[in-house]
Structure 1
Amino acid sequence: MSARPIVIDTDPGIDDALAIMLAAASPEVDLRGLVAVAGNVGLPYTSGNAAALADLLRLDIPVGKGASGPLWRRDIDFTPDVHGEDGFAGHSLPVSTRSFEPGVPLLARLIEESADPITIVPIGPLTNIAMLVNEYPETARKVERFVIMGGGAFDVLGNVTPVAEFNIWFDPDAAARVFAFGVPITMVGLNATHQATVARKHLPRLFASGGPVAEIVGHLLAGYHNVGVDMEAAMPQHDSLAVAGVIDPDVFTTVPAFVDVENVGRLTSGMTLVDRACESGEPNCDVAVKVDVERFRDLLDSRLSALDASLRQD
C-alpha cells in the first residue's frame, strides 16, 4: 500500500513540532509540504520554526508562509505564556535559510500536482484553509480529507474560554467556512486530545537514544512546565494525535456528527456545536471520541526513537 500524501498546516508551537516529527518518521504518510499560519505565536516565528524543523529533519519539501492573522478579526491574542515568545519555549533551532513560498498558493499547487488525493492536516487556526476554500474552491474540493486538530465535543469544550478551543477561537470565521464547505472532515478535539497524555516516562526508547530528536523533544516537553505543571505530569499532545490518526486510524474511534462553529456569539465565539443526532443538519464530520492511549504513546515512542537513530547515523 502506497503512503498517503499529506500536507501539514501548522503554527509551531510545542505540540506542532512533535506532530511534524511523527509525520516525518512514519512511512504510512508522504509529507509533501509544511504551511505556516499565525496562531500559537506570530507568523515570523511559526514560519521560521517550520523551516527550522524541516532542516533538522532533513525534509526535502517546500515550506509555505500563510496568513499572519484571522480572516477579518483584529483582536488577536497569541499564547507566549504557553509556548514562549518564540513558540519553542526558548529552545532555539538554527535559523533556516530556506525560501518561503506563499502559503495558500502552495497548498493549491501541492493538491493539483498530486496524482493521489491529498489529506490536509491543519493543526493550527484554519485561516489558510478557509482562504484555500475561498480562493481555489475547485482545487479544495480535490482534497481527500481535512484532519483538523481543533474544537471540542461532549464533555470537554474549551481551553481558551469555557466553550472554545484555541485554534477555532483564534479564527472562528475561518473555521465556520471550512466546516460548511463539504469536504470530509475528521475533528480531533480537546475531548480526544485530553486523553492522549504523554510524559518523558512514556517515551523510554526515545530518551535512551540521546540524539537530536530526543534533545528537542525533551526541551519541548519541559517547555510546558514553564507554566507551573509538575515535571512528571503527562501533558496532552493535541497535534500529534491528529497526525497519529492519519498514520494509524485505530489510534482513535470516531462518530459521525453535524458540526458547526459559533462565530457571532458574545460569550460563545469559537464554540464547536457537535450535534451527534444530526438534528441540525446532515453529518459533515467524523468526531474523534475514544483514544487508545497506549497505542498512541507506543507509536510516538517507536517512530521518534527510529527517527532519532536515523539522524544520528547520517
Structure 2
Amino acid sequence: MTNFTPHTRVLIDTDADFDDYLAMLYLLKHPAVQVTGITVTGTGDVHLTPGVRNISNMLTLLDDPAALKIPVARGAQAPMIYSNTFPGSDRTAANEHYNAEFPSTNPTPTLDCAHTFLRDYFINSTTPTTVLCIGGGSNYGKLFESAKNDPELHAALQKNITRIVMMGGNLLPEFTPPGFAGAEGNIQATMQPTPYYTNKVAEWNIFVDVRGAEEIFSSGIPITLVALNATQQVPITDAFVAQIKQINNPATNFLYAVLTSSTIKGGIGKYLDFWDPLAACVLTTPSLVTTQTLPLRVEQQLNEEDDKSGMIIVDKQRGHLLDVALSANASAVYNTYLEIIAR
C-alpha cells in the first residue's frame, strides 16, 4: 500500500457524467485529499437541477457523516457563448444517474449559487486549493471573467488556487509535438449513428463552452490540461469493469451499475476512455502522465457548416502556457485508481 500524506484541498467542478462519478469517488476516497466543495454545471451532460441533486446524493455512498456536509452548489445554466449540448438521450441518462441507486437522500441542503460560494470560498481561504474541472468550463469561466472587474476576487484567485487540473481538449496531429500521438476530436465518435454537429476537431468539455475554456486558459493560474491524447491511451475495458465489480464496496457497486447501464456498456472497449478519472489521478499522482508546456488558445469562431470551434491551437503569439498531458502509463493509472477506490 502506498503511503499518503494528507491533505490537498480540492474543489471539484462537474457535469455529472458517468466518468465524473469515477473521478469524484476516487478523490473522495483518497486519504491525501480533502474535497472542500463541488460545483455543478448544467452546460455539460447533465441538466442542472437533477445534476445538483445527484451529486448531493452521491455523497451518501461514502457512509461518512462528514462527506454529507461537503457543499454542493448550483452553477451555470447556460454557456458563456453558443448553445452546444450533448445528445438528448445522453442527458436523460445522466439526469437519471444511469439508473444506478444511491443508498439514501442527503439531508444537507445544496447551495443555490456556485458563483457566490466560490467567491466567498477563495476570498476567505487561508489554505491554497487545487481545482479539478471535469465538465464544461462555464462555472470557472464566469468566475474568472467576473474577477476582471473585482480586484479582491482576482487577488484571491491568484493567491489561493494552486493549480487547475482540467480534463479537456485534444491536440490534432498538426499541433502535436514530435514523439506524441495526435488526437482527433470526439464529438462525432460519441454521437453515432446520427451526429448532428459538423465539428470533427473538438473535445466535448471544451466544445460545450469555448469561451469558458478560453477564460480558464487565460486566467494566469497554473493549469494541467489532461487532453484526449493521453486519455485515449487509457481505455475503459471489460477487464477494468470486472475489477470494479470484484471490489464490492458501496462506491464500486454504484460505479459497476453505471458502467453496465444500457447507455454506457455499449461503449466499453470501443470509444469510452478514462477521461475524467485520469484527470483525478493526475491531480494526486502527476507522474502518471507525460506533459509538455505549450502556448494554447481555444478557437472561438463558429461555422455550422464546417465547425472548428473548440479546437485547441498551439499559438506562440496569442496562446497561454499550459502543461498538457499528452501520454499516459495505462497500467500505472489502472493500479493507482483501483488501489484508492477499493479503500
Matches within 5 A, 1:63-74: 63-73=72-82
Shifted more, 244-253 versus 210-219: the winner is 210-219
Matches within 5 A, 1:145-160: 145-154=163-172, 155-160=182-187
Alignment counterpart, residue 211 of structure 1, candidates 218, 242, 249: 249
The answer to whether the 8 Å contact 2:236/2:268 transfers is: no
In structure 2, distance between residues paired with 1:52 and 1:272:
35
Distance 1:62 1:138, change over 3 A: same
Shifted more, 226-235 versus 128-137: the winner is 226-235
CA deviation vs aligned residue, 1:35-66 (integer Å, no higher than 9, x gap): 11111121012211211112222313111111
The answer to whether the 8 Å contact 2:235/2:274 transfers is: yes
Q: When the two structures are superposed, what TM-score results if normalisation uses the length of structure 2?
A: 0.81
Alignment counterpart, residue 144 of structure 1, candidates 155, 162, 174: 162
Within the alignment, does 1:284 sit opposite 2:311 as a pair? no
Three-state SS of the structure 1 residue aligned to 2:218 is helix
| Cα drift, residue 115 of structure 1 | 2.7
The answer to whether the 8 Å contact 1:122/1:148 transfers is: yes
In structure 2, distance between residues paired with 1:243 and 1:162:
26
CA deviation vs aligned residue, 1:49-90 (integer Å, no higher than 9, x gap): 2111122223131111111120243x3423344461525222
Matches within 5 A, 1:257-276: 257-266=294-303, 267-273=307-313, 275=314
The answer to whether the 8 Å contact 2:9/2:36 transfers is: yes
In structure 1, distance between residues paired with 2:277 and 2:164:
15
Distance 1:134 1:281, change over 3 A: closer
Within the alignment, does 1:30 sit opposite 2:34 as a pair? yes
Distance 1:261 1:140, change over 3 A: same
Within the alignment, does 1:180 sit opposite 2:180 as a pair? no
Three-state SS of the structure 2 residue aligned to 1:285 is strand
Three-state SS of the structure 2 residue aligned to 1:64 is strand
Shifted more, 263-272 versus 241-250: the winner is 263-272
Partner of residue 310, structure 1: none
In structure 2, distance between residues paired with 1:203 and 1:301:
11
| Cα drift, residue 230 of structure 1 | 6.3
Alignment counterpart, residue 77 of structure 1, candidates 63, 85, 89: 85
Shifted more, 132-141 versus 22-31: the winner is 132-141
The answer to whether the 8 Å contact 1:163/1:271 transfers is: yes
Distance 1:87 1:113, change over 3 A: farther
| Cα drift, residue 162 of structure 1 | 1.0
The answer to whether the 8 Å contact 1:34/1:64 transfers is: yes
Distance 1:27 1:114, change over 3 A: farther
The answer to whether the 8 Å contact 1:149/1:188 transfers is: yes
Distance 1:3 1:30, change over 3 A: same
Partner of residue 52, structure 1: 57
Distance 1:256 1:48, change over 3 A: same
Partner of residue 116, structure 2: 105
Distance 1:104 1:211, change over 3 A: same
In structure 2, distance between residues paired with 1:232 and 1:171:
28
Three-state SS of the structure 2 residue aligned to 1:187 is strand
In structure 1, distance between residues paired with 2:109 and 2:6:
30
In structure 1, distance between residues paired with 2:101 and 2:263:
16
Q: Which runs of 5+ in 2 are unaligned?
A: 147-152, 173-181, 188-198
Distance 1:158 1:230, change over 3 A: closer
Three-state SS of the structure 2 residue aligned to 1:34 is strand
Q: When the two structures are superposed, what TM-score results if normalisation uses the length of structure 1?
A: 0.88
> Across the two proteins, how many residue pairs are aligned to each other?
301
Shifted more, 169-178 versus 52-61: the winner is 52-61
Three-state SS of the structure 1 residue aligned to 2:297 is strand
Matches within 5 A, 1:182-261: 182-202=220-240, 206-223=244-261, 226=263, 229=266, 235-261=272-298
In structure 2, distance between residues paired with 1:152 and 1:98:
38
Distance 1:71 1:207, change over 3 A: same
Shifted more, 154-163 versus 142-151: the winner is 154-163
In structure 1, distance between residues paired with 2:340 and 2:322:
28
Three-state SS of the structure 2 residue aligned to 1:5 is strand
Shifted more, 195-204 versus 45-54: the winner is 195-204
CA deviation vs aligned residue, 1:232-262 (integer Å, no higher than 9, x gap): 6683121111110011111111100011011
Please provide the CA RMSD for this pair: 2.2
